[in-house]
Amino acid sequence: MAKYTGLVTDLYQLTMTNALFKMGRHERRVVFDRFYRQNPFGGGYTVVAGLAHLADFVERFRYTDEDIAYLRSLGIFEEEFLDYLAHFHFTGDIYAMPEGTVAFPGEVLLRFHGTTAEAMLLETGLSMIMNHESLVATKARRIRTVAGTDALMEFGLRRAQGHSAGLWGARSAMIGGFNGTSNVEAGQRFGIPVLGTMAHSWIMSFDSELDAFRAYADIYKKGLILLADTYHVLEFGVPHAIEVFKELRAAGRLPRAYGIRIDSGDLAYLSKEASRMFREAGFPDAIISGSNDLDEYTIASLKQQGCTVSSWGIGTKFITADGSPAMGGVFKMCAKEREDGTFEPVMKISNDVAKMTNPGIKTVRRFYRKDSGKMITDLVCLAEEPMADGGTFTLTTESAKWRKKQLAAGTYTVEDLLKPVVQNGAAVKLPELPDIIRYAEQQMDTLWPEYTRLMNPDIMEINLSDTLQHVKNDIIEKELGRRAPKA
C-alpha cells in the first residue's frame, strides 16, 4: 500500500490547526458528519465507494522529515507545532455506510470521531477520496442499469485524470456493476478481471487486415474478439472475421467466445448488419462488442434502436464522470466536547436553508418492506435512540409536520447503516471486493425502479427522528434568541 504524506491537505487546514495548537484547543474531541446535498448526474441515488482507500489513507497519514522541512520553509509555523506534526497519527474512530450502499442526499454517509486537529488535517483527503470514488461508482451503476445483463468493460485508464483516478476508478467501476477492466495494475492490486483484445495499431502492423486477424487467432486461443473497424466494418472487417472463424472451425479450434469489436461509426446499424452477416455465415453466437465514447444515455438510445452489441467498452465518459464532474460532499462538525467530557450538539445555521446541518451524534436506519425486501425510507436519528423493534412506527416530515408515514407492526425490517471503518486509529477488516459487489447488487434490488430512471427520477424522502428535530429546533431557537436585538 502507498505511504501517504500529511501534505495531502489544504493550507488553511494546517493554519487553523496551528492556531488551535497555540491556544491549547487542538485536542478537543469532536464529531463530524460527511454527507452530500444533491445526487450526481441529476439521478435518484448515490453509490457509496472509497472506504478501502480512505481507511488506508487515514491509517498511513504521516508527516515525513521532508514534509516538515517544507512546512518550516514556509515561515508560518512554529517549531512546537512542527514537532507535533512530526509525531501525528490518527487515534480516533470512523463509521460509514458500507461500500456499495445506495445513499441519498442529507443523510450521514460517514461519521468521524477524533480531535479537532485530526478532523482538520484529514478532512481534505477524506473528501477527495469519497467524492471521487462514490461519483464514479454511481456513474457505473447508471450504466449498468441501462445495460441490463450485457458485459461492461472499464476502458478508462488512458483518459483518467491522473494515476489514482484511473486505479481507484477501476475498482469503483466494479462496485457499480462492471465486469472487468483493461487496467492491469487494478487487476493485480484488487483482483479485478482484466479484459481487452487489440487496438488499431495491431491491425496496421500487418500488410492486410486478414493477416492481422489470422496472426492474432494463431497466438490467442480463447476470447477471440477481432477489431473490425480499422478500414470498413461491413466490407472488410466482418467478412475477414468470418473467413478466420471458418478456418478455425474447420481446424476444430473455434473458441467458445468469439466475435468482433466496433469502435467507430453507427453502432446500431453496423451491429445489426454484422449480426445478420454472422448468422447467414453460420456463426449466430458471434459476440458484437462496441466502444467509442459511450455512456448510459448513448447505450439506452442504441438499445432502443435494436443495437445487437452485448459487450460494451466504456472509457472516457465513465472515468471522468461525464455530466457531473465533481460530487459536492461536505464534512461538517455536529458535536463537540464540553468541559465535563460529554458532547454538545452543534449545527451550521445559514440563511440558505439547504446549507443548514443536522446536530448531534447521529446514525442512519433503513427500513425495508418485510414482504418484498424493497426500501421504504431512511431515518436519520441520534445514535443513542433505540432501534425500532418491529412495532408500529411513525415517521414525521420535518418540513411538513402534518405529513406522517405510519409503518404497521410486523410489516417492516430495519438496519443501522453506519459500520466501523477505523477504530482507535487502526483500519478494521473491511469486506473483500467480491463481497462488496454482491452487496451492491443486493442494495440495487431493494431500490424501487422509479429511483433509477435516468431522467426525472423520484427522490427518496429522508426523515429526521422526532428527537433529532426537537434538538435541532432548540438550537435554532437558542441561536435566534441570542442574536435578537436588545429592546
Is 487 inside a domain boundary? no
DSSP run (H or E) holding 444? helix 433-445
Contacts of 75 (CB under 8 A, 6+ apart): none
Is 6 inside a domain boundary? no
284, 319, 354: which is the final residue of a domain?
Answer: 319
- Specify whether the backbone of 425 is left (phi greater than 0), alpha (psi in -120 to 50) or beta: left
Is 269 inside a domain boundary? yes
DSSP 192: P
Query: Same domain for 286 and 366?
Result: no
Query: Same domain for 146 and 286?
Result: yes
Query: Same domain for 393 and 466?
Result: yes
What whole-number distance in Å separates Cα of residue 43 and Cα of residue 103? Answer: 11
What whole-number distance in Å separates Cα of residue 397 and Cα of residue 379? Answer: 10
pLDDT of res. 75: 97
Give pLDDT tens digits for 22-71.
999 999 999 999 999 999 999 999 999 999 999 999 999 999 999 999 99
CA-based nearest residue to 143, from 175, 177, 107, 111: 177
pLDDT of res. 170: 98
Record the pTM: 0.95
What does the block give as the cell for 128?
477527495
- Measure the CA dihedral 199/201/205/206, to 10°: 40
Query: Same domain for 291 and 330?
Result: no
What whole-number distance in Å separates Cα of residue 70 and Cα of residue 80? Answer: 15
Where residue 422 sits, what CATH number does that domain have?
3.20.140.10
Query: Same domain for 279 and 382?
Result: no
Query: Same domain for 88 and 183?
Result: no
pLDDT of res. 402: 82
pLDDT of res. 484: 55
What whole-number distance in Å separates Cα of residue 105 and Cα of residue 103? Answer: 7
Q: What percent of the chain has pLDDT over 90?
A: 91
Query: Same domain for 97 and 179?
Result: no
pLDDT under 50: residue ranges of the chain: 1
Report the DSSP beta bridge partners of residue 30. 114, 336
CB 287 within 8 A of CB 225: yes
Q: Domain range holding 219?
A: 138-319
Query: Same domain for 198 and 270?
Result: yes
DSSP run (H or E) holding 367? strand 362-369
Is 126 inside a domain boundary? yes
Query: Same domain for 188 and 310?
Result: yes
Is 4 inside a domain boundary? no
Query: Same domain for 342 and 233?
Result: no
Where residue 310 sits, what CATH number does that domain have?
3.20.20.70
319, 351, 371: which is the final residue of a domain?
Answer: 319
Number of structural domains the chain divides into: 2
What whole-number distance in Å separates Cα of residue 355 and Cα of residue 462? Answer: 16
274, 290, 319: which is the final residue of a domain?
Answer: 319
> Alpha carbon 71 to chain centroid distance?
33
Is 70 inside a domain boundary? yes
pLDDT of res. 276: 98
Q: Which amino acid would we find at residue 3?
A: K
Query: Same domain for 231 and 349?
Result: no
pLDDT of res. 122: 98
Query: Same domain for 167 and 242?
Result: yes
DSSP reduced 3-state for 39: coil
Is 352 inside a domain boundary? yes
Is 3 inside a domain boundary? no
What whole-number distance in Å separates Cα of residue 228 and Cα of residue 241? Answer: 8
CA-based nearest residue to 119, from 156, 91, 151, 157: 91
